[in-house]
Every structure is written in structure tokens, then in C-alpha cells.
A = this chain, B = another copy of it.
């Protein structure tokens, strides 16, 4: 049983500019080179048909160095999720006190959706890679689950009781999933934040309907 902790090597900006003056020991931005090489290869020939050795070779590095930067072969596509998670959590924390829990979550998701839409090209390419492979879909789900847990925690900070917080967060993620799927499917007819709002309305309508309401 061993837990590997990944520390991200950082090369100073000075070192990067100095390299081209012949000063650096290594070509700069190893992590970025690995990431670009991986995404290119995953796109070209698929995730399963790409070996870590090939990624490293294209980035002019060794396999060992790949695993120093990324915990595993999948994580290349997911390490950015933590930044998005922080964005979401602070958006929920900053929502006005008057906002209902579900609305606070949805507003936060709209903001995140806007960010994703800025990186539209990258987002779609990444989504294609993930959709094509079962292992990657697994990883995506656990990232979303972690997002839901973080949102639930943020809601509890706002005074929402435990189970309601979990349920609201999970429902918010469901809203996001459905909206994102529509966005990826249709060709930019509606923006991601718009789709998120629409999906939320649908959730509310669905929950309100039916005989056994209380």
C-alpha cells in the first residue's frame, strides 16, 4: 500500500525565457509538452492505443517524468478540474443570503459553464476523447462526484442541513450533466448558461408534478 504524492515541478518564468539564450539545463515547460503530446495522441489514435512511452517520446522526456507530473495516464485530462471546483465553491459561498440553495448552485454552474464555453474548442476535443473511452468516463464521473461533495459542503456552510445539501448538490450536477450533453450535441444554438437555466426549470417542473407530492 503506497500513496504517491505528485508535486508539480515549477520552472521560474526567468528560467523559461533564459532557456532560449542557451542557459537552461532542460527544455522548458515539461508538463505542458506532456499535456499537449498526450491530447494530440489521444485524439489521433484513441486513449487505449496510446502508450505513455509514446507520449513521453513526443514530448522529448521519459516515461518516468510523465508519472512525476500526472498521477496516471487519465489524469492529463482532469487535473484542471480542481480549479473549476474552487470556482464553483466560492461562487456558492458568495451567493446572496436570500438565494435558495438550488438557485445558488445553479448560478454557480452558469458561471462555470461560461468559463468552459470560452475554452470551447478545447472543451469539445476533450469531451470527444472522454466519450470514446470507458475508463475516462469513469474518471469523469468521480470528478463530478467530488464536485457534488464540495458543493454540498459549501451549502452546509450556508446553513443548509446535511441531507438537503447533498441532494441539492447532486441535483445541480444532474442539471449540469444534462445541459452539457445538449450543448455538446447541438451546434451552438444555445449557450451553455442558457441550457443550464432551461435544465433547471425542467427539474423543478418534474419535481412539482405527480400525485405523491407530500
Residues of A at the B interface (CB closer than 8 Å) are 1, 46, 48-49, 98-103, 134, 137-139, 141-142, 145, 163-164, 166-168, 170-171, 174-175, 177-178, 181-182, 199, 201-214
A207 lies within 8 A of B145 (CB):
no
Stoichiometry, as copies per complex, reads 2
One of B139, B182, B203 near A207 (C-beta < 8 A): B203
Q: Are B203 and A167 in contact (CB under 8 A)?
A: yes
Identify 9 residue pairs between A and B in the complex whose beta-carbon atoms are under 8 Å apart, listed by A's number. A103-B212, A138-B138, A138-B141, A141-B141, A164-B205, A167-B174, A168-B206, A201-B214, A204-B213
Residues of B within 8 A of A101 (CB): 206, 209-210
- Chain B residues lying within 8 Å of A49, measured Cβ to Cβ, are 1
Other-chain contact of A206, B48, B137, B171, B214 (Cβ < 8 Å): B171
CA distance A46 to B3 in the complex (A): 14
